Amino acid sequence: MSTLTSINARTGEPQGKPLNASTMEEIDAAVQAAAAASDTWATSDGTQRATLLRALADALEADREMLVARADLETALGPVRLNGELDRTAFQLRRFATIAESGVPFERLDDPAVAGGPPVGHPAMVRQRVPLGPVAMFAASNFPFAFSVLGGDTASALAAGCPVVVKAHPGHPGLSQRVFGLIQQVLKAQGLPAGLIGMVQGASVDVGVELIRHPLIAAGAFTGSTRGGAALQAVANARPRPIPFYGELGSINPVVALPSALAARGAELAITLAGSIALGCGQFCTNPGLIVLIDGPESDEFVAQLAKALTTQKPHPMLTAGMRTAFDAGVRQQQELGAQTLVQASGEGLAPGPKLLQVNAQRFLERSGLHDEVFGPSSLIVRAASVAEVLAVLNAVGGSLTVTLWGADEDTPDNRALVRGATAIAGRVLFAGVPTGVAVTAAQQHGGPWPASTAPMTTSVGDAALERFLRPVCLQDAPAWLLARQGVPC
């Protein structure tokens, strides 16, 4: 039987007994149990869904001390960051509880009958939504609470009326087991089916493939690498009945810093950006991996300021040894493709030092390998000769979760062009601040064109994440008893 091991992220040493990976039979059993709970949960009202979500948030907070200690052991993210992330996770659960309770999943569009023949006349129609069914949720490594077992995907799917089968991340198996134990206690206390929230685990890709391939799974939700997400999307599309696959993938999140912004407060922006590059050891999907500057004295001074600020950053160890290997290989590839190294700190022990490299726009455009995400505390500066070259660089990126535009404060033809270029490739465009930090709000859009995500019309963060797991249905000339349910499926 295949096993996986909990690893101390600071020492690289295994800890505790190895855990058994889920067998094909166990994966099937988890999905079957979710399917058995599907009708019950789909027909639940907003109050029942909210009660479960709030109880799950309470359970996390009640076990905070043990959860944070375990998460820190397996991720090295530190108690301050992890406590904040647990707070965010509880907030997400309660926010989706409020959304369900307020009736959002059951909203309807009533289109009364119009007498006469077509095209003006038509029967009475009501457009409402129904839950998709069991969702395969793939936990992320870099957010062991907020994008993991009880993360935003699980919360939004439950609020939509869908059971969830979580594929736990092998980077924090002990934490995942403890959270799943809390879930089972809450489900039992509320008299809900144990299969409403299931969990499978394993370091092998076979576990995830078997889960997304299962004929009773109705949708997939994934946060992780472009390579992993693309492979699972291919499996989802190759099924006899393809299913939607909502993957939030890799992103290099360009920051365009215009000369006007750098002249006004370049030193301040350099310190802010250095902190964003190294935040969480650069292991954020919104890490600013690309900095686009227009040649000139302001940019020259800013590069020097940024390099100095970055050398003071002290990243902690990366989440896993595999991620550290991939980070080193990514930086090495940029160097081999002609990028000049400006900062290459050695780091301490298992912690990598921050990296800063630079290349001109022409070389960036010519060498597609420079467009790849380097997941870790590193950023690549691209020096452009003009706004036209900046736009060409953005176009070459192809798709990103974010683009940041510093200095586009006036209504000018160039700034309009930059805004068009940014919105063409990103789900979120910032005009101040840095891209790290994704607020859970009504207007959030966490997604973007490929390779940032597989479904750029959807978001994995914010209120609209619920929409991924609901399918519209038109009821024509529906009987009174069905309309009286006010959008709650029967």
Q: What is the pLDDT of residues 322-370, one digit of tens each?
A: 999 999 999 999 999 999 999 998 888 789 999 999 999 999 999 999 9
Residue 438 lies in a domain: no
Same domain, 223 and 316: no
Looking at residue 147, which CATH number applies to its domain?
Answer: 3.40.605.10
* Residue 440 located in a structural domain: no
Residues 285 and 220 in one domain: no
Residues 407 and 285 grouped into a single domain: yes
Residues 113 and 210 in one domain: yes
> Over pLDDT 70: what percentage of the chain?
100
42 shares its domain with 65 = yes
Same domain, residue pair 148 and 124: yes
By the 10 Å C-beta count (0-12 exposed, 13-18 middle, 19+ buried), 410 is classed as exposed
Tell me: pLDDT of 1 over 80. Answer: no
Residue 350 or residue 172, greater confidence: 172
The active-site residue, picked from 285, 298, 373, 389, is: 285
| 448 lies in some domain | no
pLDDT band at 2 (very low <50, low <70, confident <90, very high): confident
Residues 229, 223: Cα–Cα separation, whole Å:
8
Angstrom distance (rounded) from CA 221 to CA 226 = 13
Annotated active-site residue 490? The verdict is: no
Peptide bond into 451 cis (omega under 30): yes
Q: Are 302 and 206 contained in the same domain?
A: no
- Residue 442 in this model has a pLDDT that exceeds 80: yes
Task: Name the region of 98 (left: φ>0; alpha: ψ -120 to 50; beta: rest).
Answer: alpha
pLDDT tens digits for range 107-133: 999 999 999 999 999 999 999 999 999
Residue 19 lies in a domain: yes
Classify residue 441: in a domain, yes or no: no
Q: Do 14 and 119 lie in a common domain?
A: yes
Q: List pLDDT tens digits, range 269-316.
A: 999 999 999 999 999 999 999 999 999 999 999 999 999 999 999 999
Domain annotation covers residue 443: no
Residues 225 and 114 in one domain: yes
Structural domain span for residue 95: 3-249+453-483
Residue 244 lies in a domain: yes
248 is catalytic: yes
State the catalytic residue, choosing from 85, 101, 248, 298.
248
Query: Do residues 212 and 311 share a domain?
Result: no
What is the model's pLDDT at position 364? 98
Residues 460, 317, single domain; the answer is no
Split into its structural domains, the chain has a count of 2
Q: Give me the CATH number covering residue 265.
A: 3.40.309.10
Q: Are residues 270 and 241 in the same domain?
A: no
Classify 445 as helix, strand or coil: coil
> Per the domain annotation, does 439 fall within a domain?
no
Q: Which of 48, 70, 64 lies closest to 196 in space, CA to CA?
A: 48
What does each C-alpha distance from 282 to 18, 142, 436 come to in angstroms?
29, 10, 9
